[in-house]
Amino acid sequence: MFRIKQLGLLVIIAVTFSACSEYHKVLNKGTTEDQYKLATQLFEEGSYNKSINLFEKVIPKYGAKPQMERIQYMVGEANFKTKSYELAAYYFERFIGNYPSSSKIEDATFLAAQSYYYDSPKSSRDQANTHKALTALQNFIDKFPESEKIKEANQYYDDLATRLEKKAFDIAKQYYITEKYQAAIMAFDIFIEDNFGTEYKEEALAYKFLAAYKLAMNSAEFKKEERINNATASYDRLKKNFPESERLKEFSSKLEDLNKELEKLKELYAKYTKNGL
For 103-124, the pLDDT digits (tens) are 999 999 999 999 999 998 765 5
Q: What is the pLDDT of residues 219-256, one digit of tens each?
A: 888 888 899 999 999 999 999 999 999 999 999 999 99
251 part of a folded domain: yes
119 part of a folded domain: no
Cβ-based burial of 162 (10 A; exposed 0-12, middle 13-18, buried ≥19)? middle
191 part of a folded domain: yes
Q: Do 129 and 120 touch, CB atoms closer than 8 A?
A: yes
Coil vs helix vs strand at 179: coil
Taking phi first (over 0 means left), then psi (-120 to 50 degrees means alpha), and beta for anything else, what does residue 84 get?
Answer: beta
86/89 Cα distance (integer angstroms): 5
pTM (global) more than 0.85: no
* CA distance from start to end of the chain: 111
189 part of a folded domain: yes
Q: What is the pLDDT of residues 160-215, one digit of tens each?
A: 999 899 999 999 999 999 999 999 999 999 999 999 889 999 999 999 999 999 99
235 part of a folded domain: yes
Residue 79 has pLDDT above 80, yes or no: yes
Q: Which domain holds residue 204?
A: 179-276
Structural domains counted in the chain: 1
Q: At what angle do helices 67-81 and 85-98 cross, to 10 degrees?
A: 160
221 part of a folded domain: yes
112/117 Cα distance (integer angstroms): 9
Q: Do 108 and 75 touch, CB atoms closer than 8 A?
A: no
243 part of a folded domain: yes
Say how many CA atoms lie within 13 Å of 231 toward its Cβ. 28
CATH number at residue 189: 1.25.40.10
Q: Do 200 and 237 touch, CB atoms closer than 8 A?
A: no
258 part of a folded domain: yes
